[in-house]
Amino acid sequence: MPLYRYKSYTRRGDSISGTIDATSVQGAKEILRGQSLMPISIEEVRSDSQNSILALFQRKVSVRDKLLFTKQLGVLLAAGIPLLKAIVLLIDQFEGKMQRILIDIKDLLKEGISFGAALERYPSEFDHIYTQLVKAGEASGKLEIILSRLVVYMEKSEETKKKIQGAMAYPIFLFCATIGIVVGVLLFLMPGMASMFTSSGAVLPAPTQIMMDMSDALTGSWHWILAVLLIGGTGFFVWQGTDQGKYTIDKIILKTPGFAFFAKTKAVVQFCKTLGMLLESGVSLPEALNIVCNIVDNNVLKKRLNDARESIIKEGKLAKYLKDTQMFPPIASYMISTGEESGDLAGMLTTVGNDYEIELEEITNNLVGAINPVMMMFLMAVVLFTVLAIFLPILEMGNAVQF
């Protein structure tokens, strides 16, 4: 049944607006008049299926909208409002693609399709973890609790992501600015000074000679250099998107000091916190493992977890096979084993995940704190080298003239 957005007056003359289900515009008018309302305007709110062409140009649903939807839906359900009614109430709170998704979900719920199954029709907006947790909440009758856990999970993930992006913005700007300055000097300054330096007949200092050689290579073969960069960059971009490329890059990361520890610690946090949340929400161990083993960022570690998954499901023992992946520290494996023996595996996984998350945040903060000084030193070194390359021969020419 179509959904209509209306504006109307009450008997007192107050203006109100909202949405209403009806078979037609005329049907919507009759319903509103039956509620002692005087309609001013009524327009149909079209669903995704009716706006498929427009949807192609619609931006993705933002994390903010998903967070707001999850949080408000949890509050409404906790207040005792039925799921369908809560979805209808939330439709007017959003615009664009999110609104059309909610309209479609509302129609699917009316057809008897579960909330989790309706969300699965939008995998780019609601990932596998989200939908599986919703399904678990529906099955256990604790959907509002699951939604509150999802809010915490999403907020924490977004906070970490923004912290890293914000910290990397300035170093990336410095790096790009440095490269731009060097290229500008090589293209526009060095060619003009080259004739002056060579006509003097003096032996050029090493920094100047290096800069002149680089300038000659850049100005004389810039089109070849650009072509190589474009072809090489495109090839690398395509390759790193393949399974083999991802696996090779992640393998290199795991062999790089510092980065390996960071990647392993991040994987432990992702695995333990997500698996613990799924188990606490009533998802079975086999299904939870199917979800969690595929969300780890590093593809080498993902393969190790997937190789161990069948053995874990078969024997029902988690800690033993996690230790064999060479990803989990001994203390983490021991704590998870203790949780299995005590019957509180979900709680222990959450504890391990929280402990290593604190450690990961400390590592991230230390890395971020070290990046700015390193980039500043790099910029100063490049600028100093460029200044020496330009002024050393000028100083030597000046000294030769004096004598």
| Mean pLDDT, all residues of the chain | 81
Compare 160 and 48 and report the one with higher pLDDT.
160
pLDDT score, position 133: 82
Residue that finishes a domain, picked among 153, 176, 203: 153
Taking only the tens place, the pLDDT of each residue in 238-288 is 998 888 888 898 888 888 887 788 888 888 888 888 888 888 877 788 888
Do residues 345 and 246 both lie within one domain? Answer: yes
CA-atom Rg of the chain in angstroms: 31
| 54 belongs to a structural domain | no
Do residues 7 and 139 both lie within one domain? Answer: no
3-class secondary structure, 221: coil
Do residues 131 and 180 both lie within one domain? Answer: no
DSSP string, 241-296: TSHHHHHHHHHHHHHSTTHHHHHHHHHHHHHHHHHHHHHHTT--HHHHHHHHTTT-
Do residues 41 and 103 both lie within one domain? Answer: no
The tally of domains found in the chain comes to 3
Kindly tell me if the per-residue pLDDT of 231 is higher than 90. Answer: yes
pLDDT score, position 48: 45
Cα dist from 315 to 310, 318, 399, 401, whole Å: 9, 8, 83, 87
Give the number of residues written for the chain: 403
Element (H, E) at 7: strand 3-9
Are the CB atoms for 135 and 55 separated by under 8 Å? no
pLDDT score, position 78: 92
Do residues 382 and 327 both lie within one domain? Answer: yes
Kindly tell me if the per-residue pLDDT of 68 is higher than 90. Answer: yes
Residue that finishes a domain, picked among 103, 133, 153: 153
**Which pLDDT band holds residue 105 (cuts at 50, 70, 90)?**
very high
| 275 belongs to a structural domain | yes
pLDDT score, position 87: 93
Are the CB atoms for 301 and 264 separated by under 8 Å? yes
| 245 belongs to a structural domain | yes
Kindly tell me if the per-residue pLDDT of 220 is higher than 60. Answer: yes
Do residues 236 and 319 both lie within one domain? Answer: yes
Do residues 314 and 402 both lie within one domain? Answer: yes
Do residues 138 and 162 both lie within one domain? Answer: no
pLDDT score, position 193: 75
| 379 belongs to a structural domain | yes
Do residues 339 and 289 both lie within one domain? Answer: yes
| 393 belongs to a structural domain | yes
| 123 belongs to a structural domain | yes
**Which pLDDT band holds residue 46 (cuts at 50, 70, 90)?**
low
CA-nearest of 358, 395, 397, 384 to 268 is: 358
The domain spanning residue 103 has which CATH number? Answer: 1.20.81.30
Residue with tokens 């399904």: 135
Kindly tell me if the per-residue pLDDT of 57 is higher than 70. Answer: no
| 323 belongs to a structural domain | yes
Q: Which residues pair with 18 in a beta bridge?
A: 6
Q: Which long-range CB contacts under 8 A does 53-57 form with residues at least 24 apart?
A: 55/97, 55/100
Are the CB atoms for 102 and 87 separated by under 8 Å? yes
Do residues 95 and 185 both lie within one domain? Answer: no
Residue that finishes a domain, picked among 113, 136, 153: 153
pLDDT score, position 93: 87
Task: Give φ, ψ of 52 to 5 degrees.
Answer: -60, -40
Taking only the tens place, the pLDDT of each residue in 179-210 is 888 888 888 888 777 777 666 666 778 888 88
Do residues 143 and 171 both lie within one domain? Answer: no
Q: Is the pTM of this model over 0.75?
A: no
Do residues 69 and 175 both lie within one domain? Answer: no
Compare 141 and 258 and report the one with higher pLDDT.
141
Range of the domain at 264: 157-403
Are the CB atoms for 204 and 393 separated by under 8 Å? yes
Task: Give φ, ψ of 10 to 5 degrees.
Answer: -90, 180
